[in-house]
Amino acid sequence: MKLKEIVLRHLQMEMKFPFTTSFGTMKNKEFILVEVKDEEGLSGWGESVAFPSPFYSEETLQTNWHMIEDFLIPLLKDKDISHPDEITSLFEPIKKNNMAKAAIEGAVWDLYAKRKGIPLYQALGGENTTIDVGISIGIQETVDDLLHIIKTHVDEGYKRIKVKIKPGWDVDVIREIRCSFPDILLMADANSAYRLEDLPELKKLDEFQLMMIEQPLASDDIVDHAVLQRELQTPLCLDESIHSYEDARKALQLGSCKIINIKIGRVGGLTESKKIHDLCKENSIPVWCGGMLEAGVGRAHNIALTTLSHFTMPGDTAASSRYWERDIIQPEVTVQGGVIQVRDQAGIGYDMDLEAVKKFTLKEKVHSL
Ligand code: OSB
Ligand code: MG
């Protein structure tokens, strides 16, 4: 396939609620939406998961815009692409900037599947037509507020509850959750808020049967995590620390975690996500699909990826209505009893709501190839 045009859009969508993690609070979602067009006028869509500020990772909306315009798009000029896997190879000379790469690569995967007339999940080799999902809940003003929110989502049927923790909002909070909900699948995500010296505090979490603790230590660490994992009964899951197949291989070799969270943007695309999935499958390491408060396009990509056979734990891909009054896809993503039905439509499986896209667009730039 020959790519003819790439349209970059900077969108801003108001979130229904602020989302607080150990690194800060998000009230608005700003991101880059990528549209890749072929010579027949078909469009593939991708979404960058980079946030405006570099608190989750070093990438930002602006660095992604720069990388895509000045380095990634030029690498696609005059190329005839027969399979999306080739995008990963074409982008290889550019170091890191995985979220920027994944935004383009995801759009090419969608276009590829649409040209073949098959759903993206089938193009990826996915097998499941329903996926189980959980929900990620931010830090709240009070524990009562948190318990109330958890109850709402447990009643909705979400299969697993993830809560954010940080020093001062951890052991006591988890204890109260366990008192009220003794049997739910529960996990905690620290987003790198602890250091190895916090071992005594983290050890106290062992009594609450958490499915896992996600990324307790530094965002670039796999060595201290291995030390910590040896001291804890609760499985550790890595999020921020895993940027590639190679990172995953090394973390597993070191024993830095027992579970891996795959985020397409963080690892540079669907092709790399599949490789990490396959590695974990070979090593019987559970994987699940993380979330970055995505709008509809990113959400649809997460759903397609999660159909791969070894996504055995519920992910963070909740319903569109949890985040948005109006999503940019039609229909929006719905969850019933903690389950998403995977759609059989070609490509990402959802239509674009172009009117919504227009409404949320702050800036748009067309690049001809
Ligand atoms: O660490 O998984 C994370 C949101 C923003 C940044 C990082 C993370 C998260 C979430 C929310 O946990 C997942 C979602 O609902 O999309
Ligand atoms: Mg996380």
Q: What is the mean pLDDT of residues 236-250?
A: 98
pTM, 2 dp: 0.98
Closest approach atom of ligand 1 to CA 290: 2
Roughly how many angstroms between the first and final C-alpha of the chain, as a whole number? 13
307 CA distance to ligand 1 centroid (A)? 20
Query: How wide is the angle at C-alpha 341 spanned by C-alphas 136 and 356, nearest 5°?
Result: 70
**H/E/C letters for each residue in 288-355?**
EECCCCCCHHHHHHHHHHHCCCCCCCCECCCCHHHHCCCCCEECCCCCECCEEECCCCCECCCEECHH
The pLDDT tens digits of the residues spanning 120-166 come to 999 999 999 999 999 999 999 999 999 999 999 999 999 999 999 99
For residue 101, what pLDDT is reported?
Answer: 98
Q: Is 363 helix (H, G, I), strand (E, B) or coil?
A: strand
- Average of per-residue pLDDT values in the chain: 98
Q: What percent of the chain has pLDDT over 90?
A: 100
Whole-Å CA distances, 176 to 146, 164, 171, 215: 10, 14, 9, 22
How far apart (Å, rounded) are the C-alpha atoms in residues 233 and 103?
37
The pLDDT tens digits of the residues spanning 60-86 come to 999 999 999 999 999 999 999 999 999
**Residues annotated in a binding site for Mg(2+):** 189, 214, 239
- Domains recognised in the chain with CATH numbers: 3-117+351-368 (3.30.390.10), 123-341 (3.20.20.120)
- The residue annotated as part of the active site, out of 164, 166, 274, 275, is 164
Copy the structure tokens of residue 119.
């759903």
263 CA distance to ligand 1 centroid (A)? 10
Ligand 1, atom 6: closest residue by C-alpha: 292
